[in-house]
């Protein structure tokens, strides 16, 4: 359970410590005042990375040498996490360091300490477009459920990068093609471990998401399944090797690995019809909401106390979906919600949970 977050030179916060309690923590404020920055800081403290910054330096306040986020949380005792960002003097590079209870740690060591699920407006388009955002949701969930998953994912990414570079050198004639099978086998072995973990996670997540969706949209059925880029009869690694060997000419022409878990997807269907193409906007938003609530349920069933971060999503939902979300939020162990105005909530809800206001990088009691 998260008890506080402190921000130092983070985005538009000079210095701010915010106490958090169990249940709902509601923060209100106009746009561009720092609501999203507060949730971003919490997410950075939980995972070591930002859900929105393309480079680390974006999170450091203008003309400051560095930024810092400190989380205090309770898990069989009091603990502290610190994520520090420091600009390298005279360069544009930014260094990230992590400490847990005062001892240096890797960013991967943060996953699962304070399990977190983030729901923000950009995710309202999660079901449309390429598969990367959907893979990211699954990867983030697994990184918190399985201690070794984040490391396995990083290892796969390194092998993928090396193999892509090798494909380019082979195409240029600067490297013999005989060296490719070794990297293909390594990629396939690392990829098979990811695929197995993802399928197991979806076996757990899919029925919970279906149940959540049925509560939001009675009479409709949501199905969620893993959609691999390689069809396999059971031996995933062998199937990846076979698929890449069969597409060797395409790979050399493009300089890219054309199949594997980095190309897999998660497919959503409503009443048996692909949601990305045929579902209404309301149905898609209900499916995304159901998925996020299912993530909280799955993390909670693993014995953790998950933290739900809702960043100004009430404006994206109609009244019925807002009411359902509020009901689910009040049942969650801990949540941090931001909104532009109290009018998105019932007076009774605001009275029960209280509210604090965010203005110009400062948090005050409302």
Show which of 283, 303, 323 is a domain's final residue.
Answer: 303
Same domain, 343 and 240: no
Tokens 């205090």 belong to 72
Same domain, 173 and 231: yes
Residue 147: predicted pLDDT? 86
Q: Is 167 helix (H, G, I), strand (E, B) or coil?
A: helix
Q: Which of 81, 244, 217, 218 is nearest to 163 (CA)?
A: 244
Same domain, 267 and 356: no
Same domain, 224 and 178: yes
Same domain, 331 and 222: no
Same domain, 105 and 150: no
Same domain, 287 and 139: yes
What's the rounded Cα separation, in Å, for the pair 23 and 93? 39
Residue 121: predicted pLDDT? 87
What's the rounded Cα separation, in Å, for the pair 166 and 65? 38
For residue 86, the domain's CATH number is: 3.40.50.300
At residue 349, what are phi and psi to the nearest 5 degrees?
Answer: -65, -50
Asked whether the beta carbons of 263 and 131 are under 8 A apart, the reply is yes
For residue 248, the domain's CATH number is: 1.20.1050.90
Same domain, 88 and 206: no
pTM (global) more than 0.75: yes
Same domain, 321 and 290: no
Same domain, 110 and 138: no
Successive 10-residue mean pLDDT values, the chain, 366 residues: 96 96 95 95 95 92 93 93 91 90 93 92 90 95 93 97 97 94 97 97 96 93 96 90 96 96 97 93 92 94 89 88 89 93 91 93 86
Same domain, 248 and 209: yes
Residue 350: predicted pLDDT? 92
HSE (side-chain half, CA atoms, 13 Å) at 349: 20
Same domain, 235 and 138: yes
Show which of 282, 303, 324 is a domain's final residue.
Answer: 303
Number of domains in the chain: 2
Residue 124: predicted pLDDT? 87
Q: Which domain holds residue 146?
A: 122-303
User: Looking at the DSSP assignment, which residues form a beta bridge with residue 266?
Assistant: 226
């Amino acid at each position: 359970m998260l008890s506080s977050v402190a921000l130092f030179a983070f985005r538009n916060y000079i210095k701010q410590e915010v106490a958090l309690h169990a249940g709902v923590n509601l923060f209100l404020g106009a746009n561009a005042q720092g609501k999203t920055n507060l949730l971003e800081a919490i997410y950075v403290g939980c995972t070591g990375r930002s859900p929105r910054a393309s480079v680390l330096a974006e999170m450091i306040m203008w003309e400051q040498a560095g930024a810092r986020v400190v989380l205090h949380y309770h898990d069989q005792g009091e603990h502290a996490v610190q994520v520090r960002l420091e600009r390298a003097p005279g360069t544009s590079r930014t260094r990230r360091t992590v400490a847990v209870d005062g001892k240096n740690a890797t960013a991967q060591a943060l996953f699962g300490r304070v399990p977190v699920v983030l729901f923000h407006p950009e995710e309202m388009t999660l079901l449309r477009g390429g598969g990367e955002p959907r893979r990211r949701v699954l990867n983030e969930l697994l990184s918190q459920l399985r201690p070794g998953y984040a490391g396995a994912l990083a290892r796969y990414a390194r092998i993928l990068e090396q193999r892509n570079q090798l494909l380019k050198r082979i195409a240029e004639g600067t490297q013999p093609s005989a060296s490719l099978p070794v990297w293909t086998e390594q990629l396939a072995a690392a990829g098979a471990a990811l695929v197995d973990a993802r399928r197991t996670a979806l076996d757990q997540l899919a029925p919970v998401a279906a149940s959540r969706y049925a509560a939001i949209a009675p009479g409709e059925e949501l199905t969620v399944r893993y959609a691999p880029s390689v069809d396999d009869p059971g031996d995933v690694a062998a199937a990846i090797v076979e698929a890449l060997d069969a597409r060797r000419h395409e790979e050399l022409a493009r300089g890219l690995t054309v199949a594997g878990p980095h190309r897999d997807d998660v497919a959503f269907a409503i009443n048996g019809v692909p949601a990305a193409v045929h579902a209404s906007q309301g149905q898609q938003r209900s499916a995304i909401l159901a998925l996020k609530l299912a993530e909280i349920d799955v993390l909670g069933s693993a014995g953790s106390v998950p933290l739900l971060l809702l960043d100004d999503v009430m404006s994206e939902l109609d009244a019925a979906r807002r009411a359902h979300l509020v009901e689910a939020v009040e049942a969650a162990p801990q949540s941090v919600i931001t909104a532009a105005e109290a009018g998105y909530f019932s007076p009774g809800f605001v009275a029960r949970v209280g509210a604090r206001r965010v203005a110009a990088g400062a948090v005050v009691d409302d």
